[in-house]
């Protein structure tokens, strides 16, 4: 081999080695960048030690949970003012800006379109907690319910469209015909039906516990320094909600009626939890004016079941309920959907009042 050939081969080896080293360095840098990016993406949003956790909630029941869990460690606000119907509440630009300053936003997507829009406009910043997932929302409206008798209820306007058949059948079963093995879905909660998901999870204490657990986990992640306090708050809250659930189970076990009549279909989860049938004048949205057919359905429920109480609520018109009561000889009473903070007491107080009124209306022992 000539001297020039040896020098050429040696030079090629140096170039190849340099290229290999550069490639290795490049791969190492890319790997480090990827690792840093991945670490950054998975890192929880946290607040500085000693800082008060600020929480913005969409409406009262979530505010109640946040305050009970957080206690003095959190500053809780709600975007829906007291005595305002939350379904169609509109946020102003200023209110949206204030919402963006919170450390955490807890809400139910789909319940308040204005809030859904505001959360999208805010973008990154606050930790946003979607409570529809732990609440396990289902459909309680627009049901097309196939009964074992062979008939089919098909009006999708509201839950009240199937109330007549379901309520009368439920009362029929209650009076001694269960031996035939006839079962009904009193809460109209089957998957796959038309209609929106029912957001009113808070009227079921068991679902409230599931949502509270999700909130506590989010609080502890954002403010780990006070995680023990949040756990203690959750434990105390769960005890109160479990006691409330047991009161409902015991109070609604032995009743002359299993049907209750409401202004709008807010009590589907309650009905599902305690084996009741909700017959509503309007659907999920209380602002929807009931049709003549819906009014006629409720009159038929009163006549066929013998239920003599039609429940109204605080934040919507009681005119339809009073009109039906006047025509059927029924009476009206308030059953709170707890969409706003009670004038007296808190969530458990209002739920206890609701239980007493349900027991009176359904003639429970």
> pLDDT tens, 151-195?
333 333 334 444 444 554 445 454 444 433 333 334 433 333 334
Q: Which of 110, 119, 66, 121 is nearest to 86 (CA)?
A: 110
Residue 158, Cβ density class (10 Å: 0-12 exposed, 13-18 middle, ≥19 buried):
buried
Residue 123: which pLDDT band, with cuts at 50, 70 and 90? confident
Q: Domain 145-200+254-361: which CATH class?
A: alpha beta
* Residues contacting 138, CB < 8 A, separation 6+: 189, 190, 191, 197, 198
At residue 167, the pLDDT reads 52
**Cβ-contact 299, 210 below 8 angstroms:** no
Question: The domain at 53-135+202-245 falls in which architecture?
Answer: 3-Layer(aba) Sandwich (3.40)
Residue 140: which pLDDT band, with cuts at 50, 70 and 90? confident
Residue 196: which pLDDT band, with cuts at 50, 70 and 90? confident
Residues 26-82: tens digit of each pLDDT: 443 333 333 333 322 223 489 999 999 999 999 999 999 999 999 999 999 999 998
Domain boundaries for CATH 3.40.50.1980 within the chain: 53-135+202-245, 145-200+254-361
H or E segment and range at residue 321: helix 319-328
* pLDDT mean over 307-317: 94
Could you give the residue ranges of the DSSP H alpha helices within 43-139?
60-70, 93-99, 113-122, 132-135
Cα dihedral: 352, 358, 364, 365 (round 10): 20
Mean pLDDT, all residues of the chain = 80
Coil/strand/helix, residue 353? helix
At residue 204, the pLDDT reads 99
Lowest-pLDDT choice from 4-8, 33-37, 308-312, 348-352: 33-37
């Amino acid at each position: 081999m000539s001297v020039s050939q040896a020098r050429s081969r040696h030079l090629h080896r140096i170039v190849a080695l340099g290229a290999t080293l550069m490639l290795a360095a490049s791969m190492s840098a890319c790997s480090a960048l990827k690792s840093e990016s991945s670490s950054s993406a998975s890192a929880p949003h946290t607040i500085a030690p000693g800082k008060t956790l600020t929480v913005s909630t969409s409406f009262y029941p979530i505010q109640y949970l946040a305050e009970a869990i957080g206690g003095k460690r959190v500053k809780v606000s709600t975007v829906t003012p007291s005595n305002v119907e939350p379904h169609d509440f509109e946020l102003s630009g200023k209110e949206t800006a204030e919402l963006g300053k919170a450390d955490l936003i807890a809400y139910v997507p789909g319940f308040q379109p204005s809030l859904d829009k505001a959360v999208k406009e805010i973008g990154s910043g606050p930790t946003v907690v979607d409570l529809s997932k732990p609440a396990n929302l289902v459909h309680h409206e627009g049901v097309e319910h196939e009964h074992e008798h062979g008939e089919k209820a098909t009006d999708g306007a509201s839950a009240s469209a199937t109330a007549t058949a379901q309520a009368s059948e439920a009362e029929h079963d209650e009076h001694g015909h269960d031996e035939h093995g006839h079962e009904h879905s009193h809460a109209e909660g089957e998957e796959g039906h038309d209609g929106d998901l029912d957001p009113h999870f808070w009227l079921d204490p068991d679902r409230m516990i599931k949502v509270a657990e999700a909130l506590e986990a989010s609080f502890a992640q954002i403010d780990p320094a006070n995680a023990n306090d949040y756990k203690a708050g959750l434990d105390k809250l769960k005890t109160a909600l479990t006691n409330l659930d047991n009161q409902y189970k015991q109070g609604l076990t032995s009743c002359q009626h299993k049907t209750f009549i409401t202004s709008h279909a807010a009590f589907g989860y309650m009905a599902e939890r305690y084996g009741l049938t909700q017959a509503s004048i309007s659907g999920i949205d209380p602002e929807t004016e009931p049709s003549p057919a819906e009014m006629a359905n409720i009159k038929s429920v009163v006549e066929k079941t013998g239920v003599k109480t039609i429940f109204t609520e605080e934040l919507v018109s009681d005119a339809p309920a009073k009109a039906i009561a006047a025509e059927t000889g029924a009476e009206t009473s308030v059953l709170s959907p707890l969409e706003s903070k009670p004038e007296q007491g808190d969530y458990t107080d209002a739920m206890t009042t609701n239980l007493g009124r349900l027991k009176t209306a359904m003639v429970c022992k």
